[in-house]
Amino acid sequence: MIRVLLVALVACVWLLPMVAMGLTVASFAPVNETALGLTQYLGVNSIVLGVYSNPVMNYLYVTYLRVNATGGLLVLSNGEVVGNVNLPNCTLPYMVSVDYSDNIAYVSCPQSNLIYIVNGESASITGEVEVFLSPMWLYYDNYTGLLYAIASGSGKFMQYNPSNGSLRYFEVASTIGNLWPPVIVIPNGALNLLYVVYKTGYVLYLNYTTLQLSRDYCLNCIVVNLNSTPLYAYYDSVRNILFVSTEGGLYALDGVTGHILYSINGSFTWLTANVNEGLLYALSGDTVYVYVYTRHEPFEVGLIHLPVSGSTMAVIGDVLYVTLPMLNTIDEITFYKSSSGLYPLYVYVNSTGYNLTLSGPLSIKLSSLRGNVTLMLPNGIYNLTVTLPKGYYAQPSSVQFAIHDSTVKVYVPVYSSFKLIFIENGLALNDTWSVWVYGLTSYGGLFNSSTTAPAGEPIVFYLEPGSYRFVVNPVFGYSPTPVTGVVTVSSAGELTIPVNF
C-alpha cells in the first residue's frame, strides 16, 4: 500500500482589518506500508501490545496478550520468526528494553512482580528478576550495561546489574516536596546522569554520585518543571536531547543543563527516532507526526495516517514499525528514496521580475524570474527568501523548511503595496527635499527608509500593512507643513499628503 505524508505549515498575518496569507509550505513524501499479520503465529485469541527493536542485530520483539492465558514475546529477525516465548504468570507484558550487544530482551510483568530475561537468538527465557513492586517502565543502558526500571507499586526506581545480579532501589528527594511518584527513568551512562520523570511533571537530572546518598539528599541535581503530566520520553545520545512528551506538549531538553531547547504542540503517547537522519516520530492516536530536528528547532515534514490507533513504535535503519492492536498487526513503513538523492522544490509565485535566494546544503540566487520555479535539492534544512518588485510584497517574505525524501511546494501569495505619496509646494526650482518614513509592519517587520527628490517631484513609498510615522526633513530657509504624522495602512490603496514650504 502506498500512502502520502502530508503537512501544510501555514503562516497567517493579521492586518488591520484584513487577513493576508504568508508563504505556505506543503511537504509530500510517499511511503510504503506493509501490514505484518501475526495471528498465524500468536493465535486468534491474542492481541499485539507493543514492538521493540534491536537495530544493531536487526531483531524485533513483539509483546502480546492472550485471552484467558499468559502473555508472550514473539522474536523476529530480518522479518523471520525466531521463536515464540511464553511468559509464565505474565498476563499483560508491559514494556521491553534491549541489550544490543548481547541481544538480550528484558520484559516487565507488573502483575507477577517480575522482569523476564530473554535471549533473542535462542528465543528462550534465561532468567528473571523479582521486583518489589510492579515493574513497568524499563530502560537498559547500553553504555554501562545496567538496567533501570520503575517499581510503580513502591514509588521507587531500581537498578539491576546483570553481571552480578545485584538489585538496588532508589527514592531520591529534594527541596521540592512533590517529586513523586517516578514514572519514567532514562540513564545516560556516558555523562554519568540519570533522568527521572515524575507524574507531577517534574524532570530530575541526577548525578550518579547522588545515587550513593540517602533519600534526603539531592546533590548537584537539576530540576525542570514542565507543569504537565508526562506521557513518554526519549533520549537522543548523538545530539544530547531529552524529549519529554506531556499532556501539554512535547519538550526538547538539553541533556546536560535541562534547558528547554524548544517545544512542539501536541500530546504524543510514544516517541522514537531515526537518529542517523535526525528524524523524530511522534505518535498520537492514529497519526504519526514526522519531524526533522536539530538542537535548535524541529521541522514537521509529514504525517503518517494509520488505519487505526497505534500503541508503540520502533525503528531499524530507515524502517518504522508501529503496533496496531485493533488489527493485531504491525505496520512496517519505509520512505521511498530518489536514485539521484535529489527531490523537487516547487515555488509558486504569481509575479514577474522577482528574485529568489535559497540557503542550506545548496545556496542558490536567481534574479528577474517570471512565474513558477522548480529546483532539485538534496535532503536538508533550507531558508527561502523571495524579493518582489517595487509595488508588491509577500508577508512574510522568508520561510524555513526541510526536505527529507519529499517533494516540497512553497506558495508565495503576492499583494499590492500601499502607495504613500508626498507632493511639495513652495520650494525654489533648484532645491531638493526629503521624507523619512519608519515603523512596523503588521507582521512585525521593521521599515526604515528616507527618499530625496528635486523640488516639484513627488516622493513615493510602497508600504505593507502596518503603522508608520513620517518626518519631512527641513530645507534651508523653509519650514515644512506638516513636519510629521502617523499613517496606518490596512490594505492596498494610496494616500497623497501635500507638503507646503
Decide: 313 and 298 in contact? Cβ < 8 Å: no
Q: Is the backbone peptide bond immediately before 396 cis, with ω within 30 degrees of 0?
A: yes
pLDDT, one tens digit per residue, over 128-142 is 999 988 999 999 999
Residue pLDDT tens, the chain, 501 long: 333 333 332 222 222 223 345 677 777 667 787 888 888 888 888 999 999 999 999 999 999 999 888 999 999 999 899 999 999 999 999 999 999 999 999 999 999 999 999 999 999 999 999 998 899 999 999 999 999 999 988 888 999 999 999 999 887 654 556 677 899 999 999 999 999 999 999 999 988 766 665 554 566 678 999 999 999 999 999 999 999 999 999 999 999 999 999 999 999 999 999 999 999 999 999 999 999 999 999 988 888 889 999 999 999 999 999 999 999 999 999 887 788 889 899 999 988 889 999 999 999 999 999 889 999 999 999 999 999 998 998 877 888 888 888 888 898 888 889 999 999 999 998 999 999 999 998 877 899 999 999 999 999 999 999 999 999 999 999 999 999 999 999 888 899 999 999
Decide: 410 and 348 in contact? Cβ < 8 Å: yes
CATH topology match: 340-415 vs 418-500 = yes
Decide: 484 and 472 in contact? Cβ < 8 Å: yes
Closest of 453, 458, 486 to residue 470, by C-alpha: 486
**Amino acid present at 246:** T
pLDDT of residue 18: 30
**Amino acid present at 445:** G
pLDDT of residue 302: 80
Catalogue the E-assigned strands of 134-216: 135-141, 146-151, 156-161, 166-170, 182-188, 193-198, 202-207
Q: Model-level pTM?
A: 0.81
How is residue 150 written as a grid cell? 520503575
pLDDT of residue 90: 94
Residue with cell 501539554: 248
Cα 283 from Cα 305, distance rounded (Å) = 10
Q: Is 196 exposed, middle or buried (0-12, 13-18, 19+ CB in 10 A)?
A: buried
- Please tell me the CATH code under which domain 418-500 is placed: 2.60.40.10
Decide: 44 and 37 in contact? Cβ < 8 Å: no
pLDDT of residue 269: 98
Domain ranges for the chain: 340-415, 418-500
The pair phi, psi for residue 47, each rounded to 5°, is: -135, 125
Decide: 27 and 7 in contact? Cβ < 8 Å: yes
pLDDT of residue 155: 83
Cα 9 from Cα 144, distance rounded (Å) = 42
Give SS3 for 406. coil
Cα 388 from Cα 494, distance rounded (Å) = 19
Cα 243 from Cα 294, distance rounded (Å) = 12
CA distances in angstroms from 296 to 7, 162, 252, 259, 262, listed in the order given: 21, 37, 9, 12, 7
- At the fourth CATH level, the homologous superfamily of domain 340-415 is Immunoglobulins (2.60.40.10)
pLDDT of residue 179: 72
212: Cβ–Cβ under 8 A, 6 or more apart, which residues? Answer: none
pLDDT of residue 435: 97
How is residue 296 written as a grid cell? 535548535
